[in-house]
Amino acid sequence: MPALAEPEDVRAHLIAAARAGTALTYSELLEQLGYAFSRPKMRQLCAILGAVDEIGAARGEPELAVLVVRQSDGIPGQGWWVAGGARSRGYDGPWEGPEAARFIAKVQSETFAFWRFDNGTNAGRPRD
């Protein structure tokens, strides 16, 4: 099965979303990549999101996968929570509901601020 997309391609879409200060639903991101939403495509996308965050972590950047959310509640799916996004920040609360939404809003605002401040001048390069 051919790859859905390269992590760097997905990363570029997420950086654009971060600079715009917006999250994307799984469906929106798949559409931007040229695919209709399906569960198999979403699973492939989730695997790529993990790679995107590994790339970013190695560069000292905040996670981008937190910007990909469910349409129903604006919160990332289970994969983000289990893969370390929340745990790496010491969060052990619920994955749904108001507490989770507050936590996600905080993490997303950090990602938005980082990429707005960057203004594209250091995109893809480690920050000092």
* Alpha-carbon span 109 to 68, nearest angstrom: 13
Q: What is the DSSP letter of 61?
A: P
18-37 pLDDT tens trace:
999 999 999 999 999 999 99
Closest CA to 81 of 61, 103, 59: 103
Looking at residue 125, what is its pLDDT? 45
Q: Which residues contact residue 91 at a Cβ distance below 8 angstroms, ignoring those fewer than 6 apart?
A: 103
Q: What is the mean pLDDT of the chain?
A: 88
**pLDDT higher than threshold 70 for residue 124:** no
Residue-wise pLDDT tens digits, 58-83 = 999 999 999 999 999 999 998 888 87
